[in-house]
Amino acid sequence: MQLAHGIHLGYCTNIHRGETWEETFHGLDRYTLRVRERVRAADAPYGIGLRLSALAAGELAADRTKIDAFRRWLDTHGCYVFTINGFPYGKFHGTRVKEQVYAPDWTSRERLDYTIRLFDLLCEIAPPGFAGSVSTLPGSFKEFVTDDAAQGAAICENLRACSAHIETLRERTGRDLHLGLEPEPLGWFETTRETVAFFDRLTGDLGIDEAESIRQNIGVNYDTCHLAIEYEEPAEAIGRLRDAGVRVSKIHLSSALKLAPSQATRDRLRAFEDDVYLHQVVVREGDAVVRRFRDLPDALDWADENPPGDEWRVHFHVPIHAQPEAVFFRDTRDHISGLLDLLGRDPGWCGHFEMETYTWEVLPPELRSGDVVDQIVKEYEWCLGEFARVGLR
């Protein structure tokens, strides 16, 4: 949906299962339309944050009739696509994803070709003249990078090639198109300091015009869950990115678990272990980050034998609208509120917002709000309340 100052808000459809185009469309028709009916104003266009796997994108791109049918469906139901989540390349539900969500990474031609295809499709299905964004992984996973010089050079080369394709589409269509690299815990770059250093590396040896073009076409998908897990504050994090000339392409509105790691809380935290996703943990003592763990079981096992620190933040996207089990946990919604405070005082530096709580299927049952549609509606209500609070509704 469209809010003040050119802001578009949607939810990411990666919460629904869908690897083929048929499965993806089924989720849109079954769930997204029900959400739309409950949250949009009468006759107002409804924005969709679309997730397309490599398989679904290939099927859609190969069949003009499917593209035309999808555009008719969007028009019939008053919907439009403004952003695509291109982080997960393959299967994303019901199987082990873990570190494979980063594969293929940006060292590979497969990742480049997939992302180019998403931009081509976005130009086909987004309304004429609309800006469009695609989000993607932060280059690679730290554990995948064993030769920083060689792999880093390959990542930069492929991203520059993607930027060149975006520039060609921009010139042909007149659209403002941009790719958002998404820092997250244990990504190749995960903090805003590492992100700024990466962009300096991406553009540092280029001429002024080429560097400016890349920074127009490629920016950051700022996930409020991820940066909160890194103990970053919105004003400092956004300020660092903007001061460095890094575009904020899109903002994921999402919330993480945080907790004081007592024995009772850690025991309850085991209910959040699952075999599908990585749940990285960042540990703080006092004001210092002292440990990072690739997954929740690693952190819990370590804490059985070691002082657990003062606070943990866990990469588990919890429903945005409610604090999970207050007796044990807190959440990081304050990061969302702080970021929107900044935007309310100085709007215009980001126009694409996407709620992303893809963990619906692995949430402890007591944390789910009715069915998935009920949960998404409640998340809209909370987020729209925050936009209204800062004068952006």
Q: What is the b/e burial string over 51-71, where b = at least 16 CB atoms within 10 angstroms of the residue's CB?
A: bbbbbbbbbbbeeeebeeebb
> Is the separation of the CB atoms in 280 and 186 below 8 Å?
yes
| 269/23 Cα distance (integer angstroms) | 32
Q: Is residue 306 part of a domain?
A: no
Looking up residue 213, the CATH number of its domain turns out to be 3.20.20.150
Q: Could you list the pLDDT tens digit for every one of the 393 residues in the chain?
A: 999 999 999 999 999 999 999 999 999 999 999 999 999 887 899 999 999 999 999 999 999 999 999 999 999 999 999 999 999 999 999 999 999 999 999 999 999 999 999 999 999 999 999 999 999 999 999 999 999 999 999 999 999 999 999 999 999 999 999 999 999 999 999 999 999 999 999 999 999 999 999 999 999 999 999 999 999 999 999 999 999 999 999 999 999 999 999 999 999 999 999 999 999 999 999 999 999 999 999 999 999 999 999 999 999 999 999 888 889 999 999 999 999 999 999 999 999 999 999 999 999 988 887 899 999 999 999 999 999 999 998
* 271 domain-assigned: no
Residue 279 in domain: no
Q: Please give the Cα distance from 205 to 194 (Å, whole number).
A: 18
CB within 8 Å of 264: residues ≥ 6 apart = 328
- The verdict on residue 24 lying in a domain is yes
Cis check for the bond before 364: say yes or no (omega within 30 of 0): no
Specify if 230 maps to a domain: yes
- Give the residue numbers spanning the domain of 368: 4-254+332-389
Q: What are phi and psi of 64, to 5 degrees?
A: -60, -35
Question: How far, in Å, CA of 249 to CA of 133, rounded?
Answer: 7
The total domain count for the chain is 1
Asked if residue 156 is part of any domain, the answer here is yes
Question: Is 322 a domain residue?
Answer: no
Cα–Cα dist 119/165, whole Å: 9
Cα gap 382→224, rounded to integer Å: 15
Evaluate whether residue 292 is within a structural domain. Answer: no
**Residues 6+ positions from 142 with CB-CB distance below 8 Å:** 186, 187, 188, 190
